[in-house]
Amino acid sequence: MWQRIQTLYLAIATVLIGSLFFSKFATIFGEGESTILYREYTPYLLFTIMTFLANLISLALFKARMIQMRLCIITAIVLLAFQIWIGVNYFFPPEEVKNNIVFSFTAIFPVIAAILDVLAARNIMLDEAMVQSASRLRSARRKH
């Protein structure tokens, strides 16, 4: 399982998304500094839980390559939607904190995880193609 590159891609993506549970999203300066955590905002918490669980399930499905590949692609799409939502909040913050908000570097973790999921899906597809071609060669050899 761990000798495949797609497993490493999925593990790194899972760690990145898992780190969002403990990271701050933004810091608001002004009359006292306050931080906003990903887990404090319900939509971000739901996105984080969904993508984290999907990546964990993808890691566990290493024997069912086609399901693993499809789940990776779906997770990448959900992560891109998550990143778009973060981008909207970055470019259009609420008026009362517009000049006093600083976003954390963890705001780009979903897009990095999405890229890793797409790379994992690509390598899973290549593995499946290799297994299918080897299976065809074995069945052709048995017929002769």
Asked if the model's pLDDT at residue 130 lies above 90, the reply is no
Would you identify the CATH topology of the domain 5-143?
Butyryl-CoA Dehydrogenase, subunit A; domain 3 (1.20.140)
Taking the alpha carbons at both ends of the chain, their separation in whole angstroms is 34
List, for residues 73-113, the tens digit of each pLDDT value.
999 999 999 999 999 988 888 887 888 888 899 999 999 99
Nearest CA-CA partner of 48 in 117, 94, 109: 109
What is the pLDDT, as a whole number, of residue 12? 96
* pLDDT over 70, % of the chain: 94
More confident position, 139 or 106: 106
What is the pLDDT, as a whole number, of residue 127? 87
Rounded average pLDDT over 23-39: 88
Prediction pTM value: 0.88
Asked if the model's pLDDT at residue 1 lies above 60, the reply is no
Distances (CA, A) of 55 to 12, 67, 75, 123: 10, 12, 7, 15
